[in-house]
Amino acid sequence: MDLQEFKKKGQNTIHHLEEEFTKLNLGRASSQLVENINVFVQSRGSKQPLNQIASISILDASTLKIEPWDKGILADIEKGIYDAQLGLTPQNMGDHLIIKIPPLTQERRQQLAKFVSQLWEEAKIAIRNLRQDALKYVKHRFEDKEIGEDQKNIEEKQIDEATKEFNHKIDQLVSHKKEQIMEV
């Protein structure tokens, strides 16, 4: 894997971490909490992401409104939200669902902080593995005499610098997210 591919995959790792963070329930209403829940729609016999079968809107800081385009699948959506085990309880209002986002307890905050630490560890491991692959590629090219020792050293240094940048960005994202979680 060359430096360009290494950087692209490293950016993808960071983007994935950011996406995972948007899915966390921090006691505030956000469509991202539910939009990717896969709902089994009985009438179609298949699973579909919630954002493809309903509109999701934010009524206030702690309330989501989910309005299906086909009113006949309201019960399927309600079941899908329960099955996702996000700790959310939808209220069926006849033609739409209302979800009140509960405030976070101290225990739940600690669980979320622990989960964020797990995501941090996974991201660090992914970057470390990408670095190893990139360094192997450089070493292989050097052994095959495609590049000289000077070029090998330059590329290794560039890989290490990019690795430091990725790790620093990951640390910043995790630190910021933990601050958000512990904010009362």
Q: How far is CA 41 from CA 32, 81, 141, in A?
A: 20, 12, 52
Question: For the chain, what percent of residues have pLDDT higher than 90?
Answer: 49
pLDDT at 25: 64
Among the four given CATH numbers 3.40.50.12780, 3.40.640.10, 3.30.1360.40, 1.10.1040.10, the one describing domain 31-100: 3.30.1360.40
Classify domain 3-22+105-182 at the CATH topology level.
Answer: Topoisomerase I; Chain A, domain 4 (1.10.132)
Give residue limits of the domains in the chain: 3-22+105-182, 31-100
Mean pLDDT of 93-116: 86
State pLDDT tens for residues 51-87.
899 999 998 888 999 999 988 888 999 998 888 877 7
Reported pTM: 0.69
